[in-house]
Amino acid sequence: MKSVVEKFLKYVKFDTKSDENTGTTPSTPGQMALAEEIVKDLEAIGLQNISLDSKGYIMAELPSNLDYEVPAIGFIAHMDTSPDMTAENVSPKIVENYDGRDIILNKDNNVILSPKDFPELLEYIGSTLITTDGTTLLGADDKAGIAEIIDAVEYLAAHPEIKHGTIKIGFTPDEEIGAGADYFDVEKFGADFAYTMDGGAIGELEFENFNAAGAKIKINGRNVHPGTAKNKMINSMQIANEIINMLPAGERPELTEKYEGFFHLISINGEVEATSMQYIIRDFDKDKFQKKKDLLQNIVEFLNKKYGEGTVELQLKDQYFNMKEKVEPVKHIVDAAFKAMEAAGVKPKVQPIRGGTDGARLSYMGLPTPNIFAGGHNFHGRYEFIPVSSMEKAVQVILNIIEIYSHK
């Protein structure tokens, strides 16, 4: 059997960067290539009811070996990596017995992973770290989660003397573009509840996340010669600037933390005649979330009255909601994860997710799904790294959760 590290190093070699512009599921062919490889691994382990559908969703089962009923537990991770950074030709570096000093990721481009910039590195002195080579992301989000889940069920399959209930595993495409749960068949999956292994640093345990919406704004201007532009020109870029300035100055990602929400301008492209903008809107509180959306709509209405109807076009779409509302009625699943971490010698860090996971949407689809650490740091970029010890602890946490629910 390959170790969790060997599994992880194999999976990151697949380029599974997702792309919201392709209009397909999975959005990129590399995800299906990885899915087919994972299916081979699941077959080798001896899991049952393995399926890979045309959309790239994998499901499999390790049947119960108990003679009494206990809950069926699901463990879920996603196969895609972020569009923010290339995942082509990922070449991980192994740093053994980390000494607390700078790690040169790429000498040619002077890419350095330094505790001056990332002080959390100092928490792993003496540990083995897996880093990038400074030219790509690593893919621990969420291939670490995949490797950890498979490693745990492989261990159970190889040790039938260990008693456990039914274990369901699921791997999804396109989580990074907000589509990971689009075609997830909760009824087919058949779990009573589940956990996504999609968190960051060791100890993270999350059952609250942002309410989320996306806004696409198109501004239609009018271009005339600047020498004769008075009372004629409508500069779409200036209107875009008005929108930016009419939103609360302090409610941006770089100025917020903990339970504070934000408006995040993720792209802007324009000329005098036409400018396009994209925002994401986030807040934990449902009422504050609605007020943020209302504010943006009111701004658009105001500018259309000012410049003429149709000047500003807004497409506003909800993306996902705070899972807390769906998880709290079955809070025992969070308590079990807490106990499982403590039993593994991990200090639980219960905190809100300043983002979202597949679990947020799945919770609203009838499958309560809190989120557990996968162990990585600095996701979505060239400074991503993961300690091997964190991956090993994640495997133990999975096994401990299964053990907790194996009793009557």
Write the CATH number for 276. 3.30.70.360
Q: What is the pLDDT of residue 358?
A: 86
53 in catalytic set:
no
> What six digits make up the tokens of 38?
């994972």
Residues 108 and 33 both lie in one domain: yes
Cα 184 → chain centroid: 16
Amino acid at 29: P
Peptide bond into 26 cis (omega under 30): yes
Assess whether 48 and 177 both reside in one domain: yes
Which one of 301, 320, 339 terminates a domain? 320
> How far is the C-alpha of 408 from the C-alpha of 404, rounded, in Å?
10
Measured between alpha carbons, how far is 15 from 17 in angstroms, rounded to an integer?
6
Is a pLDDT exceeding 60 seen at residue 308? Answer: yes
Give the C-alpha separation, 105 to 93, whole Å: 8
Percent of the chain at pLDDT above 70?
A: 100
Tokens of 83: 């569009």
- Give the CATH number for residue 194: 3.40.630.10
Checking if the pLDDT of 171 tops 80, the result is yes
pTM above 0.85, yes or no: yes
Do 314 and 333 have their domain in common? no
- Residues 33 and 109 occupy one common structural domain: yes
CB contact at 8 A, 83 and 15: no
| Predicted local distance difference test score (pLDDT) of residue 1 | 52
CB hemisphere CA count around 390 (13 angstroms): 31
What number of CA atoms fall less than 13 Å from residue 154's CA on the CB side?
Answer: 19
292 has pLDDT over 80: yes
Residue 35's contacts (CB-CB under 8 Å, 6 or more residues apart) are 26, 52, 56, 58, 79, 171, 173
Residues 256 and 109 placed together within one structural domain of the fold: no
Is residue 169 very low, low, confident or very high in pLDDT (cuts 50, 70, 90)? very high
For tokens 């010669």, name the residue.
225
- Report how far residue 380's alpha carbon sits from residue 137's, in angstroms, rounded to the nearest whole number: 6
Of 15, 142, 151, 175, catalytic: 175
- For the segment 132-156, what is each residue's pLDDT rounded down to a tens digit? 999 999 999 999 999 999 999 999 9
Same domain, 202 and 328: yes
Percent of the chain, pLDDT > 90? 96
| Structural domain for 156, as ranges | 4-208+322-404
Q: Which of 274, 302, 320 is the last residue of a domain?
A: 320
In three-state secondary structure terms, 147 is helix
Residues 159 and 252 in one domain: no
Domains of the chain: total: 2
The pLDDT tens digits for 230-242 are 999 999 999 999 9
Q: Does residue 356 have a pLDDT over 80?
A: no
pLDDT band at 319 (very low <50, low <70, confident <90, very high): confident
Residues 234 and 201 in one domain: no
Is 252 found in the same domain as 149? no
State whether 338 and 308 are in the same domain: no
Radius of gyration from C-alpha coordinates of the chain: 23
Over range 284-310, report the average pLDDT. 97
CA angle 328, 193, 400 (to 5 degrees): 100
Residue 218 DSSP class: E
392 in catalytic set: no
Among the candidates 294, 320, 346, a domain finishes at 320
Q: What pLDDT does residue 357 have?
A: 78
Find, among 37, 50, 39, 51, the residue nearest to 9 by Cα: 37
Determine the pLDDT at residue 98.
Answer: 98
Out of 80, 142, 208, 251, the active site residue is: 80
The answer to whether residues 89 and 191 belong to one domain is yes
pLDDT band at 117 (very low <50, low <70, confident <90, very high): very high
Examine the domain organization and report whether 332 and 237 are in the same domain: no
